[in-house]
């Protein structure tokens, strides 16, 4: 009798959770924008696309882009190579882990992290320029804090590495197109946003692998189980490809959740908190999450980041007498170092003081006002809480 009662109670609890999830979902849909004209259209056509992108970024903070010019064969090739990586024995993957997960490693930021960290495994790939020989005269860039070569698995060969780096460069081009469109939408001077990409950037290509039947990492308010916690991205833009299975949700203005469908022909784009700061709040970074499911899931986000010394500050014409700057100025390298500390996969056993040392010793950082506290991220007069970060 007691066994039957427990089964009934469990079934009732599951039913309540399903009902809650159904009512917490939004009826809204993520906009889909054809961005083909950004490269081949007339100025009028580019402005029209820019308006669509700007409205989606302002109203949702999330949208999908189609006709993006990235060859599907390249996307499919990279997906296959990502699966190839995650199917390697754990020993081979650990060989390309940072020091936190592999004591023999000299790196701190790039490479593989296991699912035990935060419910998903990942492989972080940095700017390909950092893997080039210092003899090419790149030492000044390669010596910057957080700038380190990506460790690539030798067992997969040089062709594997070359394909991944080709995809990285292609995604950087997509990000440049989108930032140029936002300049049009906000009536900024040409280059106001795209200039952050002029020098080698800190952008990261990541492969995310959600293992089969891995336990949830969080139970959200209301009871929803999550594979990836509710958060906003701290970068400028995230351009994501969902390889095979959905689960991604974006928060609507009314607090309900919008499913982001899987589309083979489209990338998912969301505004990062750095872009919200740069546009003085005109474009919104939106909470998002991945709901729990037992099946494997693969996603490939490209985290678009500025160059290390680029100054993050609200840009004209978003700053006026009636709408003063809501955030202080801070170098991007300092900003992203502080902002990412709240993510478990970026946690390090020892505090990295190289950023503070670089800023303290450099004579080129005059005029920046970033502080080594979370209040540097909050708009004037607002609390520095998780939603603001």
Give the domains, in start order, of the chain with CATH numbers.
24-377 (2.60.120.330)
Report the pLDDT value the prediction gives residue 246, as an integer from 0 to 100. Answer: 83
Q: How confident is the model over 186-242, as pLDDT tens digits? A: 999 999 999 999 999 999 999 999 888 777 767 777 667 776 778 899 999 999 999
**pTM for this entry:** 0.84
Could you report the per-residue pLDDT of 16-54, keeping only the tens digit for each?
444 444 445 555 789 999 999 999 999 999 999 999 999
Beta strands, E only, 199-324: 204-210, 218-219, 225-231, 237-242, 248-251, 257-259, 266-271, 288-291, 297-304, 311-312
- To the nearest whole number, what is the mean pLDDT of the chain? 83
Alpha-carbon distance 117 to 95, whole Å? 17
| pLDDT tens track for 79-122 | 999 999 999 999 999 999 999 899 999 898 899 999 888 888 99
The runs of H, that is alpha helices, within the chain are 2-24, 37-40, 43-59, 72-86, 90-94, 139-142, 157-185, 273-278, 332-339, 354-361
Backbone φ and ψ of 123, nearest 5°: -140, 110
């Amino acid at each position: 009798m007691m066994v039957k009662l427990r089964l009934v109670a469990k079934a009732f609890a599951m039913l309540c959770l399903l009902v809650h999830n159904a009512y917490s979902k939004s009826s809204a849909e993520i906009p889909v924008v054809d961005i083909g004209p950004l490269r081949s259209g007339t100025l009028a056509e580019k402005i029209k696309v820019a308006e669509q992108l700007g409205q989606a970024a302002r109203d949702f903070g999330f949208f999908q882009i189609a006709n993006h010019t990235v060859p599907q064969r390249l996307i499919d090739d990279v997906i296959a190579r990502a699966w190839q990586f995650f199917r390697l024995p754990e020993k081979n993957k650990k060989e390309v882990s940072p020091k936190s997960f592999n004591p023999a490693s000299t790196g701190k930021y790039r490479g593989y992290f296991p699912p035990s960290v935060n419910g998903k495994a990942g492989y972080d790939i940095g700017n390909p320029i950092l893997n080039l020989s210092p003899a090419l005269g790149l030492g000044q860039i390669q010596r910057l804090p957080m700038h380190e070569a990506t460790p690539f698995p030798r067992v997969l060969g040089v062709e594997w590495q070359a394909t991944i780096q080709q995809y990285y460069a292609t995604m950087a081009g997509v990000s440049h197109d989108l930032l140029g469109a936002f300049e049009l939408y906000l009536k900024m001077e040409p280059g106001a946003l795209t200039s952050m990409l002029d020098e080698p950037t800190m952008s990261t290509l990541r492969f995310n692998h959600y293992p089969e039947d891995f336990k949830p990492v969080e139970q959200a308010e209301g009871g929803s189980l999550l594979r990836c916690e509710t958060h906003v991205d701290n970068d400028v833009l995230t351009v994501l490809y969902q390889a095979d299975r959905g689960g991604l949700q974006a928060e609507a203005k009314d607090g309900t959740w919008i499913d982001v469908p899987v589309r083979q022909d489209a990338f998912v784009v969301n505004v990062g908190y750095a872009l919200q700061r740069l546009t003085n709040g005109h474009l919104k970074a939106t909470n998002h999450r991945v709901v729990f499911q037992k099946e494997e899931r693969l996603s490939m986000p490209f985290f678009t980041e500025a160059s290390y010394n680029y100054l993050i500050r609200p840009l004209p014409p978003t700053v006026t007498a009636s709408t003063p700057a809501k955030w202080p100025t801070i170098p991007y390298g300092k900003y992203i170092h502080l902002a990412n500390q709240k993510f478990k996969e970026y946690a390090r056993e020892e505090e990295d003081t190289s950023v503070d040392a670089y800023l303290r010793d450099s004579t080129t950082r005059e005029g920046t006002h970033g502080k080594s506290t979370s209040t540097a991220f909050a708009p004037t007069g607002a609390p520095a809480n998780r939603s603001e970060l």
